[in-house]
Amino acid sequence: MKQIQNQKNNKSNLPLAIIGLVLVAAIAGGWWFYSSSKPQPVKSNTNSANKKPNNDLAAALALYRTAPAGAQPANTLGAPTAAVTVEEFADFQCPTCATVHTKMKEINSLYGGRIKFIYRNYPLTQMHKNAYEASAAAEAAGLQGKFWAMQDQLFTNQKTWSNSAEARKLFEEYANKIGLDVAKWQTDMTSLPIKTRIDADMNRGTALQITGTPSVFINGRQLAVEEMEVNTMRQIIDAEMQKPSGQMPPNQPASQTSSATIANQSASGSDVKK
């Protein structure tokens, strides 16, 4: 009799157990659905080096040809009509850019007027507090024909001013060192034309979909970080020089190689190595 009673109790408890299991499964499923449907936070790119260039070369070259021209006249070394253009987007406060700076100096020394080298400002302002002002310091020096001298000072002394609360005072020391009219340079640093030049370079970089600095293009093809070595860049440049002129992609938008632009470069006192 007792056994029969136990069987009845077990049978009566069975529906309750099933209901409990269903409720647990429903709660678990609901929590999983809620968690998976929540928008995930976007991870910011804290690595300053651009590691993923566009691998679709045809599309990348088309984009390069149609992107906004950037600051005009550009900060340029070498020959304006050279068959090979090396264009670098850099942030003065980016440590990797300071390293690549020495390599670019070697490239320019090796090739001289056989290439056209363009430096573009691309300050990563969200992570580098002094980067935009450093670009302004270089551009203001450029109005006195000393862009490249200031560029070299900023990269060479990067560790000194990078996280300084008084970076502008250090920039002023560099301005004195390279022989600028410091009063004029100070005024120019905060002027609208300087801001316009920096923003134009940044707009070009954004249109080219660069994700960090340094970003280097040789005749429109973006280099991977591991290709930013002197020997590798020499191989790429030499290969571009050996191409018949008809096979080489246009190395700059038309607005950047027009006769008016070249005349403006000469008139502005930009440092152009010929």
Q: What is the pTM of this model?
A: 0.73
One digit per residue, the tens of pLDDT, for the chain of length 274 reads: 544 444 444 445 555 555 555 554 555 554 444 344 333 333 334 345 555 555 688 888 999 999 999 999 999 999 999 999 999 999 999 999 999 999 999 999 999 999 999 999 999 999 999 999 999 999 999 999 999 999 999 999 999 999 999 999 999 999 999 999 999 999 999 999 999 999 999 999 999 999 999 999 999 999 999 999 999 999 999 999 998 875 555 555 433 433 333 333 333 333 333 3
Q: Set out the domains of the chain in order of their start, with CATH numbers.
A: 57-268 (3.40.30.10)
Q: Are 50 and 212 in contact (CB under 8 A)?
A: yes
DSSP the chain: -HHHHHHHHHHHHHHHHHHHHHHHHHHHHHHHHHHHHSPPPPPP----S-------HHHHHHHHHHS---SSS-EEEE-TT-SEEEEEEE-TT-HHHHHHHHHHHHHHHHHGGGEEEEEEE---TTT-TTHHHHHHHHHHHHTTT-HHHHHHHHHHTHHHHTT-TTHHHHHHHHHHHTT--HHHHHHHHTSHHHHHHHHHHHHHHHHTT--SS-EEEETTEEPPGGG-SHHHHHHHHHHHHHS-GGGSPPSS-GGGSSHHHHHHHHHHT-----
pLDDT for residue 43: 35
Strands 115-121 and 215-218: unpaired
pLDDT for residue 118: 98
